[in-house]
Amino acid sequence: MAADDKNMAKVASRFVCQECGAVLPKWMGQCDVCRGWNCIVEEATPEVRSSKSPDVPDDFFVSLSDDIADTGFSVSRRHLTNSEEFNRVLGGGFVDGSVVLLGGPPGIGKSTLLLQILSDISGIENYAYISAEESVKQVMLRANRLGIDNNRLKIASSSDVHQIIKSVSNLKHNSIVIVDSIQTISSELIQSPPGSISQVRHCTQELVNLAKNNDIIVTIVGHITKDGAIAGPKTLEHMVDCVLHFEGDKSYDYRILRGEKNRYGPTDEIGVFSMTGNGLEEVRNPSAAFLSDHSDDVSGVAVFSGIEGTRPILSEIQALVSHTNLALPRRASVGFDANRLSMIVAVLTTRCKINFSNKDVFLNVAGGLKITEPAADLAVVAAIISATFQRPLPKQSVFFGEVSLSGEIRQSHLSFQRVKEAQKLGFTSIFCSHKTDDFEKASELNIRKIKSIRDVLLLRN
């Protein structure tokens, strides 16, 4: 036995950082490149193929003036799903030969969303859903429960990327293949376990080749790490055509689909869904969904008219200011950038002479929405001032505008859309920057243009 061990050829190995993909000569506790801890794993070195001179086929280059039909590809068409929200985020449906990566935390509803999408897509003839996480029976049970009635849909369970590719290699354009998930499939050519950086990268490359060579749509599910990035190197996101994130607070029913990267459309659109007993339903009027039914005499609540992509969405910003004996008072926020909150508190301290040194400030965006727009600053200021002085804000009012360090309110883009949405939902007073352009047809609205955050101090119900 010992002799056999001695005779066995030693497998060459290398050390790969699972966070950034760096290859290191020896094991280390901390990666030299990305400074991440405990992320170096020993992996077998992949075989190096001999670099003999490659053959170049005659049709290597295709001229732009050639008829696209002669190149063997279908004329790229958009394939619309039955979900308007999903189509909007994709920029108008799936494109033939594209690879879409859908990331999101576990249990958020990625498998449910994709299975529901498969119920009908315009122009698609072959549908395949391959799960490496669930058995065929489990997927079928779920599909039945979701009421998916598509007899062209084929379901399989496999975790071998080569088996997956072979099983669909006879498919050509007008086909969609869903692989759930990239972290649970593997290739026997790579010795590291499923989910490791080499496996994820290799399997993604194989699936991208499948999509491009056969002109079929491939959609891959990806898990995310605790910081919200798709597990695997950033290169994974470079390899695919479209990266979507499915997010939301699990304690709420709302789920938001966001485009992070899209080679065929915009990336700033969002799709809003709600998780119900019968799967995901589209939320057609997100503004109404994210506003809670608070009464007008509550302090610390301001409504913000925001823009997500091209669509205005109203949301409610809640603030709480409480006395503290801590030497370092707390500034905590949910759904809003904590650094920006600290900045706004500092601006209020300096420009409005409000003493926050013995006060904790908490901020929450209702409904689990995440706001990244600077235009939300004015609503945050209004909510904090209202909470500090326990004074409700004027009834039926909406706020938008960016706050500069001098305390001045700056103009926000797409002001007219913001005002129109607020008007549609029955709001009557709009507070915005003094630099905002005048609106026509807004005579029945009370538009209050304000110059500085000091003007907010004077507001009362």
Q: Which residues bind Mg ion (CB under 5 A)?
A: 111
Minimum CB distance to ligand TYD smaller for 197 or for 275:
275
Minimum CB distance to ligand TYD smaller for 148 or for 200:
148
Residue 249 CB, shortest distance to ligand TYD, in Å, is 13
Distances (CA, A) of 154 to 34, 121, 215, 298, 416: 42, 14, 19, 54, 47
Residue 176 CB, shortest distance to ligand TYD, in Å, is 17
Residue 101 CB, shortest distance to ligand TYD, in Å, is 14
Minimum CB distance to ligand TYD smaller for 106 or for 193:
106
Interface residues with ligand TYD (CB under 6 A)? 104, 106-112, 142, 146, 275, 277-279
Residue 182 CB, shortest distance to ligand TYD, in Å, is 13
* Distance (Å, whole) CA 25 – CA 396: 64
Residue 181 CB, shortest distance to ligand TYD, in Å, is 8
- Spatial neighbors of 135 by CB under 8 A, at least 6 apart, are 157
Minimum CB distance to Mg ion smaller for 246 or for 336:
246
How many CB atoms within 10 Å of residue 448?
Answer: 15
Minimum CB distance to ligand TYD smaller for 112 or for 287:
112
Minimum CB distance to ligand TYD smaller for 254 or for 400:
254
Residue 246 CB, shortest distance to ligand TYD, in Å, is 7
Q: Which does 112 bind (CB under 5 to 8 A by kind): ligand TYD, Mg ion, none?
A: ligand TYD
In the complex, residue closest to Mg ion by CB: 111
Residue 31 CB, shortest distance to ligand TYD, in Å, is 29
Please check whether residue 359 is in contact with residue 323, taking contact to mean a CB–CB distance below 8 angstroms: yes
Q: Which does 97 bind (CB under 5 to 8 A by kind): ligand TYD, Mg ion, none?
A: none
Q: Which does 203 bind (CB under 5 to 8 A by kind): ligand TYD, Mg ion, none?
A: none
* Distance (Å, whole) CA 304 – CA 313: 8
Residue 181 CB, shortest distance to Mg ion, in Å, is 7
Q: Which does 277 bind (CB under 5 to 8 A by kind): ligand TYD, Mg ion, none?
A: ligand TYD
Closest CA to 445 of 411, 416, 410: 416
Residue 11 CB, shortest distance to Mg ion, in Å, is 34
Minimum CB distance to ligand TYD smaller for 155 or for 341:
155
Minimum CB distance to ligand TYD smaller for 257 or for 384:
257
* Distance (Å, whole) CA 241 – CA 94: 11
3-state secondary structure the chain: CHHHHHHCCCCCEEEEECCCCCEECCCCCECCCCCCECCEEEEECCCCCCCCCCCCCCCCCCCCCCCHHHHCCCCCCEECECCHHHHHHHCCCEECCCEEEEEECCCCCHHHHHHHHCCCECCCCEEEEEECCCCHHHHHHHHHHCCCCCCCEEEEECCEHHHHHHHHCCCCCCEEEEEECCCCCECCCCCCCCCCHHHHHHHHHHHHHHHHHHCCEEEEEEEECCCCCECCCCHHHHHCCEEEEEECCCCCCEEEEEEEEECCCCCCCEEEEEEECCEEEECCCHHHHHCCCCCCCCCCEEEEEEEECCEEEEEEEEEEEEECCCCCCCEEEECECHHHHHHHHHHHHHHHCCCCCCEEEEEEEHHHCCECCHHHHHHHHHHHHHHHCCCCCCCCEEECCEECCCCEEECCCCHHHHHHHHHHCCCCEEEEECCCCCCCCCCCCEEEEECEHHHHCCCCC
Minimum CB distance to ligand TYD smaller for 112 or for 412:
112
Residue 352 CB, shortest distance to ligand TYD, in Å, is 44
Residue 184 CB, shortest distance to Mg ion, in Å, is 10
Minimum CB distance to ligand TYD smaller for 201 or for 245:
245
Q: Which does 286 bind (CB under 5 to 8 A by kind): Mg ion, ligand TYD, none?
A: none
Q: Which does 143 bind (CB under 5 to 8 A by kind): ligand TYD, Mg ion, none?
A: none
Minimum CB distance to Mg ion smaller for 111 or for 423:
111
